[in-house]
Every structure is written in structure tokens, then in C-alpha cells.
Amino acid sequence: MTVLLIDEDIIVLDLTRQVLEQCGGYRVLAAHGFAAADALLTDASRIDVLITDMRSSLSDDVYRRALERCPAVATVLVFDAVKGRPHRAPPRSELLSMPYGIQELLDAVSRAVAAVAGLRANLAVPGSVART
């Protein structure tokens, strides 16, 4: 599975990438900032999981763009627990509270992937109609 990981903090980006690759066995495309993420979301992109920080208003744009390119993308949205849980989250997204540990990250990715499993199955069958 391919993960698109977006974060503006280079240390968080690198540590999270290492955890996902070494402990989760994921292929990770890491983007430092949203301009870099946008460049990775090309027509040929096949992203299975999007992990991004909800702190930036640009995260909504990247989320929409990822859904356009990969309708069954699983999403993990990271938020700061000190500032409180977001009141509204996009459908089919898993929320992950900072700070988080290795197992919490891997579990959030697994839950996000499971949440879109039915949609992926519908999209994989020729002529099927995807239901959201």
C-alpha cells in the first residue's frame, strides 16, 4: 500500500515515514508541505492512504484533490489534542490525536483502510456503482 504523508514539520515527517515503512511495511511518499503534496497528486497517482495534519486550511484542498484522483483513498487526519477534537471531519476519515505513539499510528491507518474497503471493492468491479 502507498501512503501519501504530508506534514510541514520535517522532523515529524521523517519520523512518521520511518515508522510507516519499517513497522507497517508501507511505501511512503513524503511531502514537506502542501505544494509538494500537490505535485505528487498527478493523474497517474495511486494513493491508498492519505495522512495529513488538520492544522492547515490547505489540508482541505489536498484532501479534495486526493479524493478526485483516488476515490477510495483512506484518510488519517492528525489533530492537536490540546486544541481539542475537531467538530467536523470529512467522511470516511480516521482522526488521530497528537501526540501519538507508533501503535496508535499503525492502528489509525488500519482503521482508515478498513473504512474504505467496501468502496474499493465496488470500484474494482467493472460496471459497478460506487456508493459512499
Q: What is the pLDDT of residues 45-97, one digit of tens each?
A: 678 899 988 766 556 777 777 778 777 889 898 888 766 666 666 667 899 99
User: Bridge partners of 30?
Assistant: 5
Residue 76 to residues 79, 87, 124, 125, 127, Cα–Cα distance (Å): 10, 16, 22, 25, 29
What is the C-alpha separation between 77 and 95, in angstroms, rounded?
Answer: 5
Instruction: Tell me what pLDDT residue 72 has.
Output: 81
pTM: 0.80
